[in-house]
Amino acid sequence: MSTKPVTDTAPVNLLDFDPAGLAQQVQQWGGKPFRARQLLRWIHQRGTDSFDDMTDLARDFRALLSEHCVIQAPKVSAEHLSSDGTRKWLFDVDPNNAVETVFIPEDDRGTLCISSQAGCTVACPFCSTGYQGFNRNLSTAEIIGQLWYAERVLRTQPETARIGGGLPDGDARRRVISNVVMMGMGEPLLNYDRVLAALRLMVDDNAYGLSRRRVTVSTSGVVPMIDRLARDCPVALAVSLHAPNDTLRDKLVPLNRKYPLAELLEACNRYLEHAPRDFITFEYIMLDGVNDSDDHARELIGIARQVRSKFNLIPFNPFPQSGLKRSSATRVRSFAQRLMDAGIVTTVRKTRGDDIAAACGQLAGDVKDRTRIDQRLPDRAVIAINQERG
């Protein structure tokens, strides 16, 4: 193996490479493809960050890696544990930005909710991430680093280590996190290349080995990127619908002005030809007096009939600046019933982690220097978690 210097400047963060990228890099260093697979397993399967521990790699290769590379997730500045077992981490991605990640344990699985951007340009009025504006895209290392870090920590905790069933104790492939949802801060399909690299790591057998059905991208409807995702890495897709017609959706999800409902629904149908599940999950936030009437339900049924889909109704989690209110529980129930009476599979999202502000809703993180609004939100952050069964 050659000992060519990797770079003269900053160390290379190996969390930034997807499997093909790492293979290419290793090849440039004179290594064979199986070396890249070994490295991938050390980093992502075992969660190792020390090259000295990678005992089956040649000594000179390890020396080269130690000199020029790091394995570095973003720094955690706070961790909260809810009474229901939900955990939330605040990652400082740089001195001006922090993003949040939430872990939701259940008996048969563990779900991690990941952020893709610091802030969001889509600016939906019911979302505190959107409210605070946009600062920057996260790098691949910052996105996959959330999973790398969470899995590594959770494995060592007695209360979560048991979740990773299916494989014997001590098996490096045994995972606490069985499901990943891209439902944290940001619009994943507006940070496409980095999110794609992270998704490729999630589903690679030498990295996280997650089933494509258990990795969900949630999008506000970036039509061209839905098509690209179908080709590049088809995982489960959730679409944030929130309104049954263009007039209302233009207001609730401003991206609708660019990609209106008819185009979005066609993209969903194209996606289904490649999707690992045979339905799209439509997310629908329940806003009192805004999108929750019987007429809205009727219109929505018309939409549901155009795409093989399931509905996930999300009770709105208010934040002070939104001026919006959550629909009553009775309204949510009767709305859900109308959809179900029309034969549409409908669930109402459960709220988890209320006591640590990690339940569905307002993901604030801490985004400074943002472009849209320079007024700081309180340091509360609540995140939307898809409770759909894996």
Q: How many residues form the binding site for ligand SAH (CB under 6 A)?
A: 17
The pair of three-digit structure tokens given for residue 281, joined into one six-digit string = 């999950």
Piece of the chain touching ligand SAH by CB under 6 A; list 20-28, 30-38, 334-342, 359-367: 359-367
Select the residue interacting with ligand SAH from 187, 204, 366, 388 (CB under 6 A): 187
**Which is nearer to ligand SF4, 163 or 241 (by Cβ)?**
241
Task: Please confirm, yes or no, whether 360 is among the known catalytic residues.
Answer: yes
Residues 6+ apart with CB under 8 A from 208: 44, 45, 147, 151, 175, 177, 201, 202
Cβ proximity to ligand SF4, 19 vs 133, nearer residue: 133
Contact between 377 and ligand SF4 per CB under 6 A = no
Do you know the residue count of the chain? 390
Task: Name 180's bridge partners.
Answer: 112, 215
Q: How many residues bind ligand SF4 (CB under 6 A)?
A: 11
Distance CA 340, CA 275 (A): 24
Beta carbon of residue 364, minimum distance to ligand SF4 (angstroms, whole number) = 11
Choose from ligand SF4, ligand SAH, none: what does 290 bind? Cβ within 5-8 Å by kind: none
82: tokens are 């809810």
Residue 360 sits in the site that holds ligand SAH (CB under 6 A): yes
If binding is defined by CB under 6 A, does position 220 make contact with ligand SF4? yes
Residues 229-268 binding ligand SAH (CB under 6 A) are 240
As a whole number of angstroms, the distance between CA 316 and CA 327 comes to 7
Give least dist CB 241 to ligand SAH, A.
9
- Report residue 372: phi and psi, to 5°: -90, -45
123 makes contact, choosing from ligand SF4, ligand SAH, none, with CB < 5 to 8 Å by partner type, with ligand SF4
Q: Could you give the CA distance from residue 154 to residue 149 in angstroms, rounded to a whole number?
A: 9
Cα separation, 292 vs 274, whole angstroms: 32
Report the C-alpha dihedral over residues 268, 270, 274, 275, rounded to 10 degrees.
10
Footprint on residues 60-119 left by ligand SAH (CB under 6 A): none
Choosing among ligand SF4, ligand SAH, none, which partner's interface includes residue 285 (Cβ < 5 to 8 Å by kind)?
ligand SAH
Q: How many CB atoms lie within 10 A of CB 202?
A: 25
Greatest alpha-carbon pair distance for the chain in Å reads: 69
Nearer to ligand SAH, 140 or 219 (CB): 219
State the number of CA atoms in the 13 A half-sphere of 10 facing the CB: 5
What does the alpha-carbon distance between residue 97 and residue 116 come to, in Å, rounded to a whole number? 12
Rounded Cα gap, residues 381 and 357, in angstroms: 6
> Which residue sits closest to ligand SAH, CB atoms considered?
384
Give the torsion sign (CA, 87, 366, 14, 238). positive
Q: Which is nearer to ligand SAH, 283 or 366 (CB)?
A: 283
Q: Per CB under 6 A, does 186 bind ligand SF4?
A: yes
Q: Pick from 123, 150, 223, 265: which binds ligand SF4 (CB under 6 A)? A: 123
Residue nearest to ligand SF4 (CB): 130
According to the binding rule CB under 6 A, does residue 183 interact with ligand SAH?
yes
Bridge partners for 312 per DSSP: 283, 347
Under the criterion CB under 6 A, does residue 124 sit at the interface with ligand SF4?
Answer: yes
Among 71, 112, 113, 127, binds ligand SF4 (CB under 6 A): 127
Listed ranges 42-50, 122-130, 204-212, 312-320: which one lies at the site for ligand SF4 (CB under 6 A): 122-130
Q: Is 67 a catalytic residue?
A: no
Q: How far apart are CA 194 and CA 188, in angstroms?
A: 9
Q: In the complex, what is the shortest distance from the CB of residue 285 to ligand SF4, in angstroms, rounded to a whole number?
A: 8
Tally Cβ neighbours within 10 Å of residue 204.
Answer: 20
Kindly state the DSSP code that residue 43 receives in the 8-state scheme.
I
Q: Which is nearer to ligand SF4, 314 or 356 (CB)?
A: 314
How far is Cα 364 from Cα 346, in angstroms, rounded to an integer?
Answer: 28
> Which two three-digit tokens encode residue 4?
């060519």
Q: Which is nearer to ligand SF4, 57 or 239 (CB)?
A: 239
Find the binder of ligand SAH among 220, 256, 327, 351 (CB under 6 A): 220
Amino acid at 148: W
Q: Which residues bind ligand SF4 (CB under 6 A)?
A: 120, 122-124, 127, 129-130, 186-187, 220, 240
Active site residues: 100, 360
Q: Which residues bind ligand SAH (CB under 6 A)?
A: 126-127, 183, 187, 218-220, 240, 283, 285, 314, 316-317, 360-362, 384
